Structure 1
Amino acid sequence: MRKALAVAAVVACSMILEPMTSTAAPIYPVSDPDPFYAPSNDLAEHAPGDVLSAREMPPLPLFPNTTVWQIKFRSTNSTNRPIAAVTTVLVPANRKPNGPLLSYQHIINALGTQCAPSRALYSNDANLIIREAPALNVVLARGWTVALPDHLGPGSAYGAAKLGGQISLDGVRAVQRFPVLGLARSPVTMAGYSGGGMATAYAAALAPSYAPELNIVGVAAGGVPMNIGKMAQGLGTAPHPVFGLALAAAIGLEREYPDRLPISEQLNAKGLAMRNAVANACTNDILTVGAGRSAFEISNTTDLLASPAAVEILDDNSIEKFPGIPTAPLFEWHSPTDALIPVDSIDSTMQRYCAAGAKVQSELFPSPDHLTTAVLGLPRALDYLDARFRGEPAPSNC
């Protein structure tokens, strides 16, 4: 996420502290013309994870010898309201009934719903997942079924970690409840890096209370921003090359908490213009619009972290602050010199898990930047999950 969540937290906190300068309402993504994504009128009648509809999709050259399904299912947003979400399921030709199931939470730096995996894989922006395709093809060749949830939800709420965790868990439920796939009794693993790692790690901590029936045998989460409030304190609001992602995350959090985080009402004319320009954008356009900008340009601020509402929302989306303890074995990896995430928050979270009896394997991959660490650690993470599928005892270096 390249500082996106961190700077976004600064932006979000700062904006809600300013006196009202406009009456602008939150801005949401445009409706998708594909009726598959249309809201369901009977959501409240379904349980989280229930399948609402499903369809087989055309094959993807990126994943040969693989059948592709998309499943729409009922999930829950950050304020406990029912929503419809989507996961894309890659089914290898050699998969066995009730064989291994991996839920892979991809990094999605976007506000437009067309940027989510289910849409981007069938668009000109399929490069969304090209970096991970080689590793995913390895596990597909092993017979694993891979689910790729649109974990930002139907409103593309970039930055909402709790939402991502819930959608990811409900996506697994939906895959297992879809009888065509024959995975009702499959062992499950979850994996992701950076923003995808945040959704993955939140899902792991949330699973014992939110989805205790799932047989999650292992989790791998890397480069996780465990405390976005602390990231906000550390990075400030100076002009930054990826400020567009920061603004996008502020808009995403407003979408998820419109009654508590009135971002749009705090924006000046320049801020509203930038907001409107990125409201339906994917990563590259967001970066272009915000390059070199800062929070002070779009809303004059003085105190960034004084608002109780801001602190509460940041805590709600910070895994370090969430009291849940994963019961599934956890592999965690990061660079000890990663300047984009608070490494001390990773350490304190893992120490808390260890003290509670969780099985945690933490590994360091020294590298010059955040995304390089993903490439270095992903093969090791998938090998760790493979061992869990084989039933090997989970290692721990607590």
Structure 2
Amino acid sequence: MRSGLAHVFGVFGGVALALLLATPASAGPLYPQPDPDPFYAAPADLAEHPPGDVLDVRGMPPLPLFPGASVTLVKFRSTNSHGEPIAAVTTVLTPAGHRPDGPMLSYQHFINSLGTGCAVSHTLYNSDLNLTATTPMLNAVLQQGWSVALPDHLGPQMALGAARLGGQIVLDGIRAVKRLPALAVQNGPVVMAGYSGGGLATAWAAALQPSYATELQIAGAAIGGVPANLVTMARALGFDPHPAFGLAMATATGLEREYPDQVPISAYLNPRGFAVRDAIANSCTNSILATGANSSAREFVTSTSIFDSPEARSVVEANSLELYAGVPEMPMFEWHSPSDPLIPVDAIINTDRRWCEAGVRLDTLRVSAPEHLSAAAQGAPAVLGWLDGRVRGEPAPVNC
């Protein structure tokens, strides 16, 4: 159960919206400690590079999770939510016997953390990243000769909750990998996939591609269990105590990092709120969950005003996929449990309907799993088949 909660509330934590208050800020955001590895640092000439430019490359030790695959870190130039340059990283798995211009899957894992050491490129090498549901799928595509890219889609400030940022990082990561001759995927087909928070980053990448990365040819994207509307989640959860409140607090902290002027959360924390914020500021999922378990926003803020700030509300809306007017131009596969208790299913249905009306080639699947985490695994076989069809160039099915 804890893993299922972490999937959704690590991305949004609807209670986090209760921390977006109206009074002018008097305290700044708490950013993560910089990654001590100089590989992750932004170069001095970062602004001179266009989005997707490769900034550095590093070979890594093999991963027991993915037998036979070589591992490469790629640092590249991306863009934050304000149009400013940032350095981001993706981890590329290249299968043994990889053929030039073979397919590539950009897989967006959910990241429920605030510390730089909790990024996927780090946690692949320790036990904090829960890959139970995804390792079999990734190994299946590796065995078919596909390369796999795993981006750190929260960016260098670990801006948990900044979903649009994640979409841009995903697209720039694909650009960067395709620009590296040594990885031999320049002319091969590309597909994307992700579940929960990773599905959200994938969905944003698909929706932003027509405007942000027009030159990229992406054969399709599969998204599952997407928390498509932060506002809806906030209204549903309110101020009640929740076992995953620590991750809700982490989401609020992440949004403040990305939008310090519009989301001045730190200005309205009481002493207990500051203590919790400081305790989780560099933590990964399990520690964040333990710190805030069964707490509520009322315990940590000086006011419970929630929708008084139009600036904060605009940030939440701007990162809600359901409310984004743009639509993907690539084929899409979407799956979820209709009884998922952790995400607003109506927001998914509304997004699907709007995309269909706009002409998106959308194939949807309602799995029978009764909760969030099991729905990821139950949909995996259908996702693999759908992705394989896109790589093979088959016509994309539509069931709108």
The residue that corresponds to 2:355 in the other structure is 353
Structure 1 unaligned runs (5+)? none
- 1:266-305 to 2 correspondence within 5 Å? 266-305=268-307
Under a length normalisation based on structure 1, what TM-score does the superposition of the two structures give?
0.96
Partners of 1:164 and 1:122 in 2: CA distance: 22
Partners of 1:164 and 1:56 in 2: CA distance: 24
The residue that corresponds to 1:17 in the other structure is 22
Preserved contact between residue 13 and residue 307 of structure 1 (Cα < 8 Å) = no
Of 58, 61, 83, 2:64 maps to 61
Partners of 1:260 and 1:17 in 2: CA distance: 9
The residue that corresponds to 1:238 in the other structure is 240
The residue that corresponds to 1:324 in the other structure is 326
Preserved contact between residue 362 and residue 397 of structure 1 (Cα < 8 Å) = yes
Q: CA deviation at 1:7?
A: 6.4
| SS of structure 2 residue aligned to 1:123 | coil
Q: CA deviation at 1:301?
A: 3.1
Q: CA deviation at 1:313?
A: 0.4
- 1:198-237 to 2 correspondence within 5 Å? 198-237=200-239
**Once superposed, what is the RMSD of the aligned Cα atoms?**
1.5
Is residue 380 from structure 1 mapped to residue 382 from structure 2 by the alignment?
Answer: yes
Q: 1:3 to 1:184 in 2, by over 3 A?
A: closer
Q: 1:190 to 1:2 in 2, by over 3 A?
A: closer
Under a length normalisation based on structure 2, what TM-score does the superposition of the two structures give?
0.96
Is residue 108 from structure 1 mapped to residue 111 from structure 2 by the alignment?
Answer: yes
Preserved contact between residue 92 and residue 144 of structure 1 (Cα < 8 Å) = yes
The residue that corresponds to 2:395 in the other structure is 393
Partners of 1:7 and 1:115 in 2: CA distance: 17
Q: CA deviation at 1:18?
A: 5.3
| SS of structure 1 residue aligned to 2:398 | coil
Residue by residue over 1:104-145, the C-alpha shift from the partner in whole angstroms, topping out at 9 and shown as x without a partner, is 0001100011111111112343x4324311110011000110
Larger displacement relative to structure 2 (175-184 or 266-275)? 175-184
Q: CA deviation at 1:366?
A: 2.0
Q: CA deviation at 1:303?
A: 3.2
Of 86, 92, 96, 2:95 maps to 92
| SS of structure 2 residue aligned to 1:52 | strand
Preserved contact between residue 119 and residue 152 of structure 2 (Cα < 8 Å) = yes
Q: 1:91 to 1:39 in 2, by over 3 A?
A: same
The residue that corresponds to 1:188 in the other structure is 190
Q: CA deviation at 1:3?
A: 4.5
The residue that corresponds to 2:160 in the other structure is 158
The residue that corresponds to 1:256 in the other structure is 258
Is residue 70 from structure 1 mapped to residue 76 from structure 2 by the alignment?
Answer: no
Of 4, 10, 16, 2:9 maps to 4
Of 369, 372, 392, 1:370 maps to 372
Q: 1:379 to 1:95 in 2, by over 3 A?
A: same
Please tell me the residue identity of whatever aligns with 2:257. Answer: R
Q: CA deviation at 1:178?
A: 1.0
Partners of 1:236 and 1:317 in 2: CA distance: 19
| SS of structure 1 residue aligned to 2:219 | strand
Preserved contact between residue 120 and residue 128 of structure 1 (Cα < 8 Å) = no
Q: Runs in 1 of length 4+ with deviation above 4 angstroms?
A: none
Of 296, 313, 318, 2:315 maps to 313
Please tell me the residue identity of whatever aligns with 1:121. Answer: L
Aligned residues: 395
Partners of 1:103 and 1:15 in 2: CA distance: 33
Q: CA deviation at 1:17?
A: 2.8
Preserved contact between residue 11 and residue 237 of structure 1 (Cα < 8 Å) = no
Partners of 1:219 and 1:347 in 2: CA distance: 17
Is residue 42 from structure 1 mapped to residue 54 from structure 2 by the alignment?
Answer: no
Please tell me the residue identity of whatever aligns with 2:325. Answer: P
The residue that corresponds to 2:134 in the other structure is 132
Preserved contact between residue 17 and residue 234 of structure 2 (Cα < 8 Å) = no
Partners of 1:122 and 1:148 in 2: CA distance: 13
Q: CA deviation at 1:187?
A: 1.1
Partners of 2:7 and 2:209 in 1: CA distance: 27
Partners of 1:356 and 1:7 in 2: CA distance: 27
Q: CA deviation at 1:256?
A: 0.4
Residue by residue over 1:360-392, the C-alpha shift from the partner in whole angstroms, topping out at 9 and shown as x without a partner, is 001101222111101111221121001110111
Partners of 1:350 and 1:368 in 2: CA distance: 20
Partners of 1:111 and 1:344 in 2: CA distance: 29
Partners of 1:5 and 1:363 in 2: CA distance: 24
Partners of 1:301 and 1:142 in 2: CA distance: 55
